[in-house]
């Protein structure tokens, strides 16, 4: 939808005029709508204006800080001078509406809709199965759409770059990129060989398939073509305004802030003289987050983007001048053009800056962030400032006192006076000089994620040699990330002048740099040692680059660097992934109408892509609705002395403050000895515990008032934060669990070798894209209340809300249409938050909306349990493992939640794929003062399974055998029993292993990797293959019961309801497939509305991959009941059609409504005896992954992954393969990237995508192949399928062990001792520390 914002042009702008194209209002056809926004508030961001004011809810709130891309829109501007229209993507959450003067805004609704037409981008994303929960999909659509508006036939590099700023937690990105490839002119979907084989084939028989197997999940023939001529035009009104109306200063007054947008440099200078502390805002990517997240407040904001002097781009004889208000994207284009046109000798600085711009933020950030803002902010984490400073760039400053030029490096010097920028001065432009002969310059960065992540360390380095020599004439070394701002190794550079560029200089320089650059050891991120190592490692890389350049210049005098060093000069690049998906075709005898077994598109896929899919915060506001902001504890363990709400109640728009005293009935839920608490009353037991909540007329007012609540604490002891603390204080939740099998102690006496070890596994944030969301609406009579909530368990929400309000459950109606991701994180915590909102709604008698910000969500909710595994393993010299003694400790947090159950699953699944004759293992759920951790995809198995694979790998190292050989030796091979005496048939485990070995060409690639590693010193490759046995089951029959309700209406349409929740796993799609088969009608006849406690009572949670299994049985039961009733009518009129039969049934008074029920799977576990049948069946799989590491920085690249999974007979291969890939990529996050950091006081420091990095497009394997095991049957589940949502996550550890393989190669080559420990996540920091060399020794030895 094009929302064209043009503001009144008087000096004080009181209103803004908005043109909206493509709106459908009531009975009116599509038309343009003009809206006058009076008194536009500078604090109002475009995102909330679209969603709350204009009711355009397709644009989503994901993080509020420009880090996830869910709120991406397209901005269009018209340049009267060039008569050109520019389109660019931007984050609506960071754009003040006041900044959009004269611009057009296109949202996902304007791109296409089911009411008008669906755009090819939307269609292909949906039909390529590129959405699961769908919450990120509108943002993906807008990023792709914007690229296509500028480049109708983009390259694959442009496409991956366009998506670098968009995050998805569900899909693993592969299907999204498949959709993107269909637009690329250089599509990598090849089929280019004469025999039609894919270029991925490493072996002639690699992907030989039986006739019954298929690789096509979608048909490109169905796609409508992209026609650029059919796109919306830029609004003529805005063109006329830009060309005809004189520019005038704009001023907007908000409740708290005044926004001034001048049009001349003189006026800007006057404003800065009058308001020297007022920040200049162009893209709002710096000031915006500071004000939103860090409590910074500016009563006056100056927006200089419309001043011509600040937008200048000028080529000079000695360099380029770029205006301070120019965007980083424009700067990138200007530099790229200059590089293509100028001699290489002059463009070395330009190339180095471009190197940093390539990965700085995402496209959305670069499109609005300004060059000047990046410099003036002096942020420590700047990618650009070190290279601009090292490159001798000059700053053009202006004030009422005149103009002056200063070196950019001066603003990072220690000097005062003219060396720094005065408060009243304005940065007008930046001059970037040409490089000179004999001058070499490079830029470097290492970040937690290769793209769209702030650097841990960035660097800019430049050397100038005396003519014709390698004698240093001038040297500049600048670092970012090492101090509070960019820092210069000034003394080092001065000392090295006159030195020759050789090994002696390198050694001296490294020691000088480490002496000069002093890092604080107490930094919260704990990365001081890693940063020091990077500081010298990056200088070494610069040293190598310059040596190689000298060789290029004069190969006779300069030998360059050894061949095995050369690969380190190339950084890892993001490439468009290639992939193959193999699944079993349906039988030829199957009816074409029967959808089971076919790759059916997600039923909401199109609505996801058009933004029409409704989530909780998309529900229209209710008259008198209040917004809730929670007030949380700032202490980990303390007595509440007092809560002062007086200042909060004085704030504008505040209605009330809700506390524990307002809970009518139950405030504490005793599911075990320790209660789950709605509002803290007398004490707090973690940082982030809810103490009270503020209800106000807007979210902004509620948030501002919440900050004014004052809580006085009295410290309590002890404060227990870690597992080690809990062990020390004997702080555990009961019961502790133990499993023992065989005679462990005796076995230890007979083995050849014993190894002992310990591994630490960090927690993981769910990072579902839709934060916790509740809308509670009192009905006005009989104490009834409608509760709309993003949850996996509506019946539990109903139970908790009813108990807290003291009413029967039949008065609480809980509704869930869809959930924007959950992964286990929307169970108990969702119940507590729903209770908070419902208590507020009950007290105020108003509808109450509670939508957690991303920061609050991460602070309050907890996630996957941090874990310590201790093990003692006895084994024979031939690799046979005879006995294991293990202890597992999980950090449960402050309340029990699901922690004891997670600990139990850790024990039950710890064997993974291996038969261990003698086994003893304990599991302890630690009680600490962190927010309680909870269920998360995999539920304990990803942790205990990693411990098992770790000691398997260590046994291999001790025996000299390969890890895959030790795995094969110890794998389950026959009909056997697990360590808790449940029978299993491992035939499909062995099949998965063998197929993956074959399909991955494991041994030939391993040989190739060994050869690569011999030829490369600073880069190494690694490969690992890991099997998996994943038991399915919920432990008790009552937890897997399910019900369904099916109505047939007289027109033949069917309304289907069941107790499962759509979380992105496609459960509703599969249930419609089931109903379609059972009723023998097309899927188009069947509709699913919502999951509700009013239609299906007492439904179990959608957890444990069981949703399709149990609800499918219930739907099947209901449909068979109906068909049985209809059968006599069908028999009488066999040639009739469905509608005829239904009409006749109604006329014969045959009931057309039926319930279906499934009692659940029989399961039991006797913990006293240590035996039982807790699981229904087993899934099997194997993953082979290959990686490449950079030994100097610790960075790595996922090169290839092959997965073979046994999931029975797939009901929907497209959905199931998507689940496997999404889980696998989430596993990559758990094991290699996602790092939670807490302060010593127990405060979570990683509270958003800026600090917490989930995998992005750049992190998935370059080759990503998934094959479903053929001819697999499962007699226990619907249509022989298997519940697979969780299983694939563990296979992500294949990347962990591939990294370990590469590190082992490094250490062996360097003669290091074999025994070494690696913890999870295996980040770049750990990889670098394990690759010990002279630089790490320099740091450690200091």
Catalytic residue IDs: 1286
User: Is there a contact between 857 and 793 (Cβ–Cβ < 8 Å)?
Assistant: no
User: Is there a contact between 277 and 72 (Cβ–Cβ < 8 Å)?
Assistant: no
Per DSSP, the residues of 1190-1233 read: ETTT--EEEEEEEEEEE-BS-S-HHHHHHHHHHHHHHHHHHHHT
3-state secondary structure of 1039: helix
Helices 528-553 and 503-516: crossing angle in degrees, nearest 10, is 150
User: Is there a contact between 1293 and 1231 (Cβ–Cβ < 8 Å)?
Assistant: yes
Quick one: tokens of 242? 């830009």
3-state secondary structure of 629: strand
As to burial, measured by CB atoms within 10 angstroms (0-12 exposed, 13-18 middle, 19+ buried), residue 1139 is middle
| CA 1323 to chain centroid | 16
Per DSSP, the residues of 440-486 read: EEEEEEE-SSSSSS--SEEEEEEEEEPTTS-BEEEEEEEEESSSSS-
Nearest residue to 576 (alpha-carbon basis) of 145, 160, 154, 128: 160
| CA 1289 to chain centroid | 15
Nearest residue to 448 (alpha-carbon basis) of 525, 394, 358, 368: 525
User: Is there a contact between 759 and 1319 (Cβ–Cβ < 8 Å)?
Assistant: yes
Interatomic CA distance for residues 266 and 275, integer angstroms:
14
Per DSSP, the residues of 89-128 read: EEEGGG-BGGGGTTEEEE-HHHH--SSS---HHHHHHHHT
User: Is there a contact between 478 and 409 (Cβ–Cβ < 8 Å)?
Assistant: yes
Interatomic CA distance for residues 1329 and 1333, integer angstroms:
9
| CA 324 to chain centroid | 32
DSSP code for 1281: B
Angle at 1066 between CA 165 and CA 1270, to 5 degrees: 105
Interatomic CA distance for residues 1278 and 1211, integer angstroms:
9
Query: Residue for token digits 């870690």?
Result: 722
Nearest residue to 820 (alpha-carbon basis) of 786, 765, 772: 772
Nearest residue to 644 (alpha-carbon basis) of 730, 709, 583, 738: 709
Interatomic CA distance for residues 1189 and 1184, integer angstroms:
17
Interatomic CA distance for residues 1025 and 964, integer angstroms:
7
Quick one: tokens of 743? 């005679």
As to burial, measured by CB atoms within 10 angstroms (0-12 exposed, 13-18 middle, 19+ buried), residue 1119 is buried
The residues that bridge with 80 in the sheet, in sequence order, are none
Angle at 983 between CA 979 and CA 986, to 5 degrees: 95
Nearest residue to 200 (alpha-carbon basis) of 646, 582, 672: 582
Interatomic CA distance for residues 976 and 270, integer angstroms:
84
Interatomic CA distance for residues 1215 and 1213, integer angstroms:
5
| CA 1074 to chain centroid | 32
Quick one: tokens of 742? 């065989």
Backbone angles phi, psi at 981, to 5 degrees: 70, 30
């Amino acid at each position: 939808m094009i929302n064209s914002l043009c503001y009144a042009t008087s000096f004080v702008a009181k209103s803004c005029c908005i043109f909206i194209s493509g709106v459908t209002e009531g009975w009116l056809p599509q038309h343009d709508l003009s809206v006058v926004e009076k008194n536009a508030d500078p604090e109002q961001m475009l995102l909330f204006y679209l969603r709350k004011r204009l009711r355009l809810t397709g644009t989503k709130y994901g993080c509020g800080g420009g880090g996830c891309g869910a709120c991406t829109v397209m901005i269009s501007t018209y340049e009267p001078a060039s008569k050109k229209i520019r389109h660019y993507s931007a984050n609506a959450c960071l754009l003040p509406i006041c900044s959009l003067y004269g611009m057009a805004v296109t949202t996902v609704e304007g791109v296409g809709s089911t009411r008008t037409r669906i755009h090819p981008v939307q269609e292909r994303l949906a039909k390529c199965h590129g959405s699961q929960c769908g919450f990120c999909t509108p943002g993906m659509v807008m990023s792709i759409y914007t690229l296509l508006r500028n480049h109708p036939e983009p390259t694959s590099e442009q496409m991956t770059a366009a998506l670098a700023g968009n995050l998805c937690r569900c899909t693993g990105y592969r299907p999204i990129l498949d959709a993107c490839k269909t637009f690329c002119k250089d599509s990598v979907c090849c089929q280019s060989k004469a025999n039609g084989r894919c270029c991925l084939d490493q072996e002639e028989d690699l992907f030989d398939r039986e006739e019954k197997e298929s690789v096509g999940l979608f048909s490109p023939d169905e796609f409508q073509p992209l026609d650029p001529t059919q796109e919306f035009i830029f609004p003529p009104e805005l063109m006329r305004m830009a060309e005809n109306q004189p520019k005038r200063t704009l001023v907007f007054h908000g409740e708290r802030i005044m926004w001034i947008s001048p049009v001349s440099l003189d006026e800007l200078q006057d404003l800065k003289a009058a308001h020297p502390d007022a920040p200049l805002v162009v893209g709002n990517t710096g000031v915006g987050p500071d004000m939103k997240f860090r409590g910074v407040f500016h009563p006056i904001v100056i927006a200089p983007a419309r001043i011509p002097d600040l937008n200048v781009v000028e080529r000079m004889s000695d360099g380029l001048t770029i205006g301070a208000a120019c965007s980083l994207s424009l700067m990138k284009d200007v530099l790229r053009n200059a590089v293509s046109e100028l001699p290489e000798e002059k463009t070395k600085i330009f190339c180095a800056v471009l190197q940093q711009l390539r990965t700085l933020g995402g496209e959305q950030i670069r499109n609005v962030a300004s060059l000047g803002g990046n410099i003036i902010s002096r942020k420590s984490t700047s990618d650009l400032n070190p290279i601009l400073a090292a490159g001798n760039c000059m700053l053009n400053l202006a004030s009422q006192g005149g103009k002056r030029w200063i070196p950019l490096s001066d603003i990072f010097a220690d000097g005062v006076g003219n060396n720094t920028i005065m408060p009243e001065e304005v940065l007008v432009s930046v001059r970037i000089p040409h490089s000179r002969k004999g001058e070499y310059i490079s830029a470097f960065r290492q970040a937690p994620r290769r793209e769209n992540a702030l650097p841990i360390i960035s660097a800019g380095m430049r050397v100038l040699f005396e003519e014709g020599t390698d004698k240093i004439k001038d040297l500049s070394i600048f670092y970012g990330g090492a101090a509070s701002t960019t820092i210069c190794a000034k003394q080092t550079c001065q000392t090295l002048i006159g030195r020759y560029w050789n090994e002696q200089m390198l050694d001296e320089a490294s020691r000088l740099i480490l002496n000069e650059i002093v890092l604080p050891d107490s930094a919260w991120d704990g990365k001081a040692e890693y940063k020091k190592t990077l500081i010298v490692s990056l200088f070494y890389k610069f040293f190598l680059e310059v040596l190689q350049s000298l060789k290029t210049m004069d190969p006779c005098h300069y030998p360059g660097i050894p061949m095995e060093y050369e690969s380190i000069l190339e950084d890892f690049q993001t490439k468009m992934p290639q992939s193959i998906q193999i699944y079993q075709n349906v039988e030829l005898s199957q009816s074409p109408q029967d959808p089971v077994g076919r790759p059916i598109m997600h039923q909401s896929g199109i609505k996801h892509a058009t933004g029409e899919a409704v989530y909780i915060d998309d529900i229209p506001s209710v008259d008198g609705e209040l917004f809730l902001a929670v007030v949380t504890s700032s202490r980990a363990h303390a007595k509440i002395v007092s809560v002062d709400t007086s200042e909060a109640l004085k704030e504008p728009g505040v209605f009330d403050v809700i506390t524990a005293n307002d809970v009518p009935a139950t405030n504490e839920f005793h599911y075990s000895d320790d209660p789950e608490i709605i509002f803290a009353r007398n004490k707090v037991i973690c940082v982030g515990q809810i103490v009270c909540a503020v209800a106000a007329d807007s979210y902004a007012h509620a948030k501002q008032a919440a900050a004014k609540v004052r809580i006085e604490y009295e410290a309590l002891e002890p404060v227990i934060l870690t597992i080690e603390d809990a062990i020390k204080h004997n702080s555990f939740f009961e019961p502790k669990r133990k499993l023992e099998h065989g005679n462990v102690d005796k076995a230890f006496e007979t083995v050849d070798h014993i190894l002992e070890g310990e591994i630490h596994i960090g927690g993981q944030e769910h990072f579902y894209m839709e934060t916790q969301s509740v809308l509670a609406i009192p009905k006005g009579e009989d104490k009834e209340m409608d509760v709309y909530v993003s949850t996996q368990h509506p019946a539990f929400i109903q139970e908790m809300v009813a108990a807290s309000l003291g009413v029967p459950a039949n008065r609480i109606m809980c509704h869930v249409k869809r959930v924007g991701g959950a992964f286990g994180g929307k169970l108990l915590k969702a119940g507590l938050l729903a209770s908070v909102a419902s208590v507020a709604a009950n007290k105020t008698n108003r509808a109450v909306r509670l939508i957690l910000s991303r920061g609050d969500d991460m602070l309050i909710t907890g996630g996957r349990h941090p874990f310590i595994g201790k093990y003692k393993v006895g084994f024979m010299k031939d690799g046979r493992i005879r006995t294991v003694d293990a202890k597992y400790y999980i950090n449960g947090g402050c309340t029990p939640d699901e922690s004891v159950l997670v600990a139990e699953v850790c024990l039950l699944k710890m064997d993974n794929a291996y038969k261990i004759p003698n086994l003893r293992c304990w599991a302890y759920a630690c009680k600490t003062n962190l927010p309680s951790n909870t269920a998360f995809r995999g539920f304990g198995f990803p942790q205990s399974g990693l411990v098992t694979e770790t000691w398997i790998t260590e046994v291999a190292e001790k025996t000299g055998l390969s890890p895959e050989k030790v795995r094969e030796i110890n794998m389950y091979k026959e009909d056997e029993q697990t360590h808790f005496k449940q029978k299993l048939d491992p035939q499909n485990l062995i099949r998965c292993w063998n197929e993956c070995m074959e399909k991955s060409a494991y041994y030939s690639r391993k040989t190739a990797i060994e050869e690569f590693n011999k030829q490369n010193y600073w880069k190494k490759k690694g490969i690992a293959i890991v099997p998996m046995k994943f038991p399915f089951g919920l432990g008790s029959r009552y937890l897997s019961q399910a019900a369904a309700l099916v109505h047939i209406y007289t027109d033949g349409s069917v309304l289907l309801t069941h107790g499962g929740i759509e979380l992105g796993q496609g459960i509703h799609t599969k249930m419609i497939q089931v109903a379609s088969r059972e009723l023998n009608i097309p899927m188009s006849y069947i509709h699913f509305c919502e999951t509700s406690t009013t239609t299906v009572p007492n439904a179990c949670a959608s957890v444990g991959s069981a949703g399709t299994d149990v609800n499918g049985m219930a739907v099947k039961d209901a449909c068979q009941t109906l068909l049985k009733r209809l059968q006599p009518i069908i028999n009488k009129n066999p040639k009739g059609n469905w509608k005829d039969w239904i009409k006749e049934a109604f006329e014969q008074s045959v009931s057309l409504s039926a319930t279906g029920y499934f009692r659940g799977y029989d399961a039991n576990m006797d913990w006293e005896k240590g035996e039982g049948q807790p699981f229904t069946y087993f899934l099997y799989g194997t993953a082979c992954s290959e990686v490449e590491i950079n030994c100097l920085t610790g960075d790595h690249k996922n090169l290839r992954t092959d997965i073979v999974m046994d999931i029975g007979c797939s009901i929907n291969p497209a959905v199931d393969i998507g689940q496997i890939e999404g889980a696998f990529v989430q596993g990559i996050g758990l094991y290699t990237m996602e790092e939670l950091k807490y302060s010593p006081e127990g405060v979570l420091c990683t509270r958003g995508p800026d600090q917490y990095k989930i995998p992005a497009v750049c992190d998935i394997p370059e080759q990503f192949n998934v094959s479903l095991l053929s001819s697999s049957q499962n007699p226990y589940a619907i249509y022989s399928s298997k519940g697979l949502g969780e299983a694939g996550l563990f296979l992500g550890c294949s990347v962990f062990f591939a990294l370990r393989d590469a590190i082992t190669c490094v250490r062996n080559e360097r003669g290091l001792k074999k025994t070494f420990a690696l913890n999870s996540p295996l980040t770049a920091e750990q990889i670098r520390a394990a690759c010990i060399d002279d630089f790490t020794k320099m740091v450690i030895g200091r």
